[in-house]
Structure 1
Amino acid sequence: MTIPTVSRRRFQLGAAALAITLLATGCGAAGSSGGSDQVTLRFAWWGNEYLNAQTEKVIDAFEASHPNIKIESEPGEWGGYWDKLATKTAANDAPDVIQMDQKYIAEYGGRGALLDLSKQEEIDTSKLDKEALASGQYDGAQYGLSTGQNAYVIMANTKVFEAANVPVPDDTKWTWDEFLDIASKISASGDGKTYGAAYGSNEADLIIWLRQHGQNLYSQDGKLDFDTATAASFFERLKEQRDSKASPPATVATEDSGAGLEESLFGTNRVGMAWWWTNQLGSLESTTGSPIKMLRAPSQDGASAKNGMYYKPTMFWSASSRSKHPKEAAAFIDYLTNNPEAGAILMTDRGVPTNTEIVEGITPTLKPADTTVVSFLKDIAPDIKDAPPVPPVGAGSVQNVIKRYTDEVLYDRLTPQAAADAFKKEVEGMLASAKK
């Protein structure tokens, strides 16, 4: 596997959950069992009950075809997953195979806690999408293989559109002005009970906005890569959504942000448009009982090729650099990534597979929503140029910072420009602290 090399730096873990000296006992792989010796691999992931059952099924299938390898399950939930993983890693007790998120690839890989998968002969990457492969690379090493691709889109609840007598837009050529106009009309018809659009105020929202302006949240060498004026225009747009009543009042939005999907404004058919990842389409349709249409991001001038969208790995398969069985761990990751049997079990719940042969094999048996997602991701491919740089060490909690400054703007405690200035200064401090 050939991997492009980027700047090498020394790191410390920046996220609060990872502020632990991981390398106190060293990081080299401890060797591998040989021949047909029976080995046990610990496998950690986060998910819900459905995903857990699916994962146990793929484990059973792997063990049936690899009788000398036993997989010990360590499922968890997102809320406590990272604290637990940080603690175990610091104690030199990390699972052999780890479900990893992109925001922590650098946090763990940059400190030597993850195995460089490019050096594992058991893993075949020849049939994987090259952009998806690059998304798991950091500092010249392959620290994760994407479980599948996703895209951040506007989900339009067609039932809400119909009730407001507002047509669903042509997403191949719509602008932000049209987005605001459509959302305002839906809100006006809802008499304070239904809103046109939820606020998009997380990391992916900001990344798309910056890319539309020729900038990025991060640079390839791990620094911030945007002007505060552009970030201010992002906050200004959200404020305009509030002022035009296209989106809920700040107090309603705050309450909604803490609600589960079933109780949320979107989940209860009270918002026409909201930002979600493509792999969530099935859950949204099931919860709302409404047909949901995925829409491309609006752009500044209506050109979909300039809308800033990108493919994001839903998550990654990674392995601990301290695993006593790196060859077997690599074999399990290769199975999860490339084996048709595994593909038929995992389907698209962790994203659309990056192995095109797996996608072709599962397509005939996909659920309607999943078929729609596969088709949508294929349709937007001509407009997807590259992926944003991997978040650097120290960036694990940036999404929370964006949300906090969005609240400051929506509650009129800061102007958009002041919020942008403070946001950039705070994140620069977080990244700098992570390097000490």
Structure 2
Amino acid sequence: MGNPTAFHRTSRGATRASVRPRGRHALSRRSVLAGGFGLGAAGVLAACGGQTAASSSGNASSGGGPVRFAWWGNDYLNRQTDEVIAAYLAQHPDATIDGEPGQWGSYWDRLATQAAAGDEPAIINMDQKYISEYGGRGILADLRAVDGLDLGTVSAGALEAGTVGGTLYGISTGQNSYCVLANRAVFADAGVDLPDDTTWTWEDYARIAREIQASRADTVGTVYGVNEAYLVTWLRQHGEDLYSADGGLGYRTRTLTEMFAYLLDLMDTEAGLGAAGAAEEQGVPLEQSAFGTNKAGMTWSWANQFSSFAATTGSDLVMLRPPSAAGAAAENGAYFKPTMFWSLGAGAASNPTAVSFLDFLVNDPEAAAILRVDRGAPANSATEDAVMDVLEAPDRAFLDFMSEIEPEIAGTPVVPPQGSSDAQNVLSRHLEQVLFKQASPAQAAEAFTAEVAGMIESA
């Protein structure tokens, strides 16, 4: 993985923040932490059955040996994570941490295969859509029962977010929200004004994207950015949710049909990528994406990726609230989500090095200063000052944005039930069929609904 100490974050200071500064108090106000196409992880994970603590977790069950640490991320996050590993090893020179980085899609395929073989890593970067799957199948440790892991200064909301069925399977790395990123330079070059994101509508969003795309042959108005968060945001605007409290589906098929129809219209009116370009965009790293290479006016992104995009593009970027049907920020369906989790493989609970390293990730100020806010707005009061002391403009912009939208956030989506972890891949596949006009929006909505319902029922 190269020299983990060679990475410095100086390049990020050159990018101007595009959100009004709120001062040092912003981070301490974080009381609201709520909570590729192909086979995907769910199909492989189904073979795991009732995995138990006897699984290896990187030789963890033996109480010694190298500790395997798996995470997903782009090159930027990989360098950052290498640096935090190096910091831990400087404090624990006798320890061995073997990093296993990966891109989002391949990461879950690999982890599912490892778990099916009882060979999952000791420290596992976990996501909310998968935590029920892995926790429910006995692959993750109950973190409240792990000796040597201090949870005393982690916010109650962060702990609740990683709890499924009363068991703590993951410690949230921080809170996040799905939003639109806009490139000021592309807007200016196209002669298009930035919208008022407290009042803009889906019609405004489409019009702006069309105007940008019409201005220059090598620029697209928007990258669609459709994933499970996009769908949940759309559904929440209609008073619905992807899942229901009883573990089923919580929306009307008609609402999903309308979303597919809107996206098809974006493509047909040349507001965004064509079908082939949209399919290609699904799997590219941030650094190679249309927005990441300054060839798109807007994209959808998790707000914590603002810093990565700012560093990659070298441009002046701004975070925007999602548009809404009503033109009201309080009705745009935005929500706070745990960015990701740190979890412990079930067999690693007896490995003192694995527990020590997890405690370092969660509680050590030096680790927090390295990780900053790229995995979300921190939720540990013991590390807030260490983070605030090292933040640069894009990081502060992210925290300011989260503070700014906080009063508009109403409720949280239902945690994805067991069996639903591949829903995002299913959504991407059916959207691809709509954009290639192999299925109508209504047909895709019906097929998606039937497929996800079947996945949940068979879990």
Out of 102, 106, 116, the residue aligned to residue 90 of structure 1 is 116
1:208 equivalent to 2:233? Answer yes
Q: Which residue of 2 aligns with 1:355?
A: 380
Secondary structure at the counterpart of residue 294 of structure 1: strand
SS of corresponding position for 2:100: strand
Tell me the number of residue pairs that the alignment of Structure 1 and Structure 2 aligns: 413
Task: Give CA deviations for 1:197-254 in whole Å, capped at 9, x if unaligned.
Answer: 2223211110100111111111233211111011111112112212332223323333
Deviations 1:275-308 (A, max 9, x none): 0112222232233332111101111212212211
Cα 1:322–1:38 shift into 2, 3 Å: closer
Distance 1:29 1:21 in 2: 11
Once the two structures are overlaid, the 10-residue window that deviates more, 352-361 or 423-432, is 352-361
**2:290 aligned with 1:241, yes or no?**
no
Aligned 8 A contact 2:55 2:118 in 1: no
Please, which moves more after superposition, 42-51 or 376-385? 42-51
Cα distance, 1:90–1:400 mapped onto 2, change above 3 Å: closer
In structure 1, the residue matched to 2:345 is 320
1:18 is matched with which residue: 42, 45, 58?
45
Q: Does 1:184 align with 2:184?
A: no
User: Corresponding residue for 1:117?
Assistant: 143
Amino acid at match of 2:189: A
Q: Which residue of 2 aligns with 1:306?
A: 331
Please tell me whether residue 295 in structure 1 is matched to residue 340 in structure 2: no
Residue in structure 2 matched with residue 46 of structure 1 by the alignment:
72
Shift of 1:271: 1.7
- The question of whether the paired residues in 2 share the 8 Å contact of 1:44 and 1:74 is answered with yes
Matched AA of 1:371: R
What's the RMSD between the two structures over aligned residues? 2.7
Task: Map 1:4-403; keep pairs closer than 5 Å.
Answer: 15-23=42-50, 26-27=52-53, 41-63=67-89, 65=91, 70-78=95-103, 79-120=105-146, 122-190=148-216, 192-323=217-348, 325=350, 329-403=354-428
More moved, 52-61 vs 316-325:
52-61
- Distance of 1:256 and 1:269 partners within structure 2: 14
CA distance in 1, matches of 2:190, 2:148: 55
310 and 272 in structure 1: CA distance in 2 versus 1, 3 angstrom threshold:
same
Distance 1:145 1:405 in 2: 33
Cα displacement (A) at 1:351: 2.2
Label 1:371 to 1:426 Cα distance change in 2 as closer, same or farther (>3 A): same
Q: Aligned partner of 2:47: which letter? A: I
TM-score (normalised: structure 1): 0.86
Q: When the two structures are superposed, what TM-score results if normalisation uses the length of structure 2? A: 0.82
CA distance in 2: counterparts of 1:59 and 1:418, whole angstroms: 48
Conserved 8 A contact 1:15-1:396: yes
User: Which secondary structure does the structure 1 equivalent of 2:300 belong to?
Assistant: strand
Q: CA 1:310 to 1:125, structure 2 compared with 1: closer, same or farther past 3 Å?
A: farther
Identical amino acids, percent of aligned pairs: 46
1:420 — aligned with what?
Answer: 445
Secondary structure at 1:395's aligned position in 2?
A: coil
- Note closer, same or farther for the CA distance 1:281–1:324 as it changes in structure 2 (3 Å cut): closer
**Preserved contact between residue 45 and residue 115 of structure 2 (Cα < 8 Å):** no
**Residue identity matched to 2:345:** S
Q: Tell me by how many angstroms 1:49 deviates.
A: 5.0
277-286 or 423-432, larger mean C-alpha shift:
277-286
State the alpha-carbon separation in 2 of the partners of residues 220 and 250 from structure 1: 35
SS of structure 2 residue aligned to 1:365: coil
- Residue 318 of structure 2 aligns to a residue whose secondary structure is strand
Letter in 1 for 2:357: F
| Residue identity in the other structure for 2:223 | A
Give the Å deviation of 1:174. 1.5
Q: Distance in 2 between matches of 1:43 and 1:256?
A: 28
Alignment-mate amino acid for residue 23 of structure 1: G
> Shift in Å at residue 56 of structure 1?
4.0
Tell me by how many angstroms 1:28 deviates. 6.5
The separation in 1 between residues aligned to 2:47 and 2:158, in whole angstroms, is 29
- Between the aligned partners of 2:100 and 2:55, the Cα distance in structure 1 is 24
Flag the 1:116–1:220 CA change in 2: closer, same or farther, 3 A: farther
CA distance in 1, matches of 2:78, 2:277: 33
Q: Give per-residue Cα distances to partners, 1:128-167, cap 9 Å, x unaligned.
A: 3444332211122110001222221101011111112111
Contact 1:29 1:324 in 2 (8 A): no
Picking from 434, 444, 447, the partner of 1:409 is 434
SS at match of 2:125: strand
Residue type at the aligned position of 2:171: L
**Aligned equivalents of 1:20, 1:355: Cα separation in 2:** 36
Report the AA paired with residue 328 of structure 2.
Answer: A
Look up the equivalent residue of 1:278 and give its one-letter code: A
1:208 alignment partner AA: T
C-alpha distance in 1 between matches for 2:247 and 2:41: 13
